[in-house]
Structure 1
Amino acid sequence: METLVDLLGMARRCSCIPMEVCCSSRDELDDICSAVSNLPYIFLTSLYSDLAEAKHALVLDKFQQATMNWSA
């Protein structure tokens, strides 16, 4: 966890880098979200497998838009 937070701190130097972090369990994802939620330069959205279809689509669309904006 400490390494992830350190890496995110380095990514802070570059503006708006879209990232995806995959976890093997919901608890691990919740732990990561908790660890980085207090970092002011991180915008975070969790994507759980049981998320409602509309919310799931919205999260993926926002990530796709961020990725397109970053690579432009």
Structure 2
Amino acid sequence: MLQRRLRTVDLRVHLHPVSGEHLPFADESFDCVVSTLVLCSIPDVERAVAEVYRVLKPNGRYLFLEHGRVAVTSHC
């Protein structure tokens, strides 16, 4: 679905489904890294974020969207 939508706009977008803890890219490869609702499913979040900063160029941007963790408690 995303691939089909990307063909209708003038954007250069490359999707890479990879392990967050071991990004297969050289240091300082990207101007921007985007992750959406994935950090909650990565076992080693600190390692994943370190990998993002490793592959970002100097002054690059890391854009992420996450939902918060909520403790489930009973108020009865």
TM above 0.5? no
TM-score, reference length from structure 1: 0.31
TM-score, reference length from structure 2: 0.31
Which one has the largest radius of gyration? 2
Larger fraction in helix: 1
Greater RCO, CA 8 A, separation 6+: 1
